[in-house]
Structure 1
Amino acid sequence: METGWKVHISDLIRHEPGMEIQADCVLLATGAVEKPIPIPGWTMPGVISIGAAQVMTNVYQVLPGKKVIVAGIDILSLSIARSMKLAGADLVGIYMLPHSPFSNYASPLLHLETLNEMTDFAPSKMIRLAGKLLKSKTGRKIAAQYYPPKGMRMWGIPIHLRHTILTINGNQEVNSATISKIDVNGNPIGEQKVIQADTVCIAGGLTPLYELAATVGCKFVTLEGLSGTVPLHNKVLQTTVPNLFVAGNITGIEGAKVAMAQGTLAGKSICKKLKIGNLKDADMEEAISFVEHSRKLSDIQFHPKVSEAREHIEDLWSKWAHFSNKDCRFL
């Protein structure tokens, strides 16, 4: 993209020269990308991302493997593991990611803080009851310390919060994984064990896909609750670059309902900016409220601090708008 706006589009199907589109406003809804987590053996055939497993299973109706191990415990890996099991795969178990800088030093204690927001929706009554224990720091320590050695089952799938994958094994393709018990801080302890599998799905989480916004000079902020770096934007999804708007996971990782509500809001913001449809401030406030309503009712929260992060980004926008002499509401 070039500010102004000129958008360059390639034509890979017809092998023809790319198109150039002139636009008064641009909406970026580039979504998110999976974070790769390197584990020894991860380059072998049979190792894929959890997102790839989702596409194979749900879109193309092809099982990624017959005997599957999932590395990484989050809302995405849990839901996709269930999809694979329903499709006929043998889900050996879901294990913790290795304790490393790539996984943000994943540990049972940190995961329990993230997962406590999800337990209210768990299908297992035992997990829902255990969720009440996770509301306090002391409760999370107790839960991490006394988590069942054989894991807890959800939809018949063992979830191993106190075991991690050390290596993925095989000659030409995956045939097993080596696991180890870990302490509450994620450090391997005790004996190692080899588990047979033909597929390992790595779930490293999602991060906003913001490269296009970076090419045109957007200001950015990095907030834990939004799962990474996002373009600085206001309530109506205007960025710091005039006539450039954002919606969906590029603004922070949330569920599909929130992304759809943001898409409606961004569309109205652009129409108001270009004086299309006679939109008023009341219409904008209604669209903003719908986004907030969708956020509160969302079944899936990818991060427990998302609301806190949203408030923080509004504060940062206000400060930027003040020092830049910009209209903070409907830029």
Structure 2
Amino acid sequence: MAVTAQMVKELREKTGAGMMDCKKALVESDGNLEAAIDFLREKGLSSAAKKADRIAAEGTTFIQVEGNKAVLLEMNAETDFVSKNESFQQLVQTVASHLLATEPASVEEALTSVVEDGLTVENLISNAIAKIGEKISLRRFVIETKTDADAFGPYLHMGGRIGVLTVLEGSTDVQSAKDVAMHIAALNPAYISRDEVSADEVENERKILTEQALNEGKPENIVAKMVEGRLSKYFEDVCVLEQSFVKNPDQKVKVFVESTGGKLVSFTRYAVGEGIEKREDNFAEEVMSQVKGN
């Protein structure tokens, strides 16, 4: 069967593959469009495998809210340039919608779930790799739910370099929930309150602070009191409710949240590439300067 320019154009629009690859696929499949798509998918999977050992530490975080469900995800690529690619952004949005619709329990389960026309999330990513030419991976995601009486606080910093999703229970004040998310983006706390810090962690910190005080030559009779004071500072560093609110340093986050009539029950913070490689970007300073300017 003769392969026409219109057939090549249609296949390119459906797959995003190069013109010569589309023409070859159509020749190999004797003009059968579906068979040609399968041919290109197989080629895409092969291309993806070759890129599997590359480091993908760039990319984006993304948040999608639909009613009483919300998802925060991190999708990685090799270069920051790709995060601005329209095809990459469309992939992220498609995956986010699928995650909300199916609520998989893990990344592994998400990758094997079928999105459309027999294509799994893994297939979609592999096809994007073939089209864009970089390793792309779904690294992590979290799905949150709430009631009509609660509020989500979605916040993306620098177009997705940092993503934070908060849940404010008992308040429908979305802006306040978002303000708390902006604070968390800036200061990166580990816990909501000191109640969440394990007894072992507290005891270990107490031992360290005690040794520090003794090494400073402080009298033993005042060391215990000093340690408790320093332990309070430790809680301020790691617990969001104990921290001074970035939009009003004279007010604790706990007081701000209470003023909304709600309660902060959860938060998730993703920074692109954290833990994959060391980054020198000072995210805290960037976010705080932006928040204070609002």
TM interval, short-chain normalised: under 0.3
User: TM-score, structure 2 length as denominator?
Assistant: 0.25
User: TM-score, structure 1 length as denominator?
Assistant: 0.23
Larger-gyration structure (1/2): 2
The structure where helix makes up a greater share of residues is 2
